[in-house]
Amino acid sequence: MTRSQAEAQAHVLAVDFAACDGHGLCAELLPELVGLDEWGYPVLHNRTVPPDLLLHARRAVAACPVMALRLNRVPTPPPGQPPNRTAAAPRRAASHGQPG
């Protein structure tokens, strides 16, 4: 991957709520993007991580004791080009008269 390709990728946060135990470290380390609900579980204020917070986001992901916080890269289109719409949602199979 070239440097320009790496720069053309956005970083987004994701929480695996099945794994999350509500320790709250993510909100302590990244309060700009993560808050806590009344039970202590993370609420993402903004999933997209701005470049100036990327180091802090990586630190929050690394500090999660149950590895429930993830930082994923997603490709972004060049300026002026519409997003790629070829990756559509999967189609549901026809029910063929069976209740669904």
pLDDT digits over 26-58, tens only? 999 999 999 999 999 999 999 999 999 999 999
pTM: 0.68
Q: Is residue 98 very low, low, confident or very high in pLDDT (cuts 50, 70, 90)?
A: low
pLDDT digits (tens, 9 = 90+) for 66-78: 999 999 998 876 6
Residue type, 89: A
The dihedral formed by the CA atoms of 30, 32, 34 and 38, expressed in degrees to the nearest 10: 110
- CA-CA distance, 63 to 8, in Å (whole number)? 26
- Which candidate, 68, 61, 52, places its Cα nearest to that of 29? 61
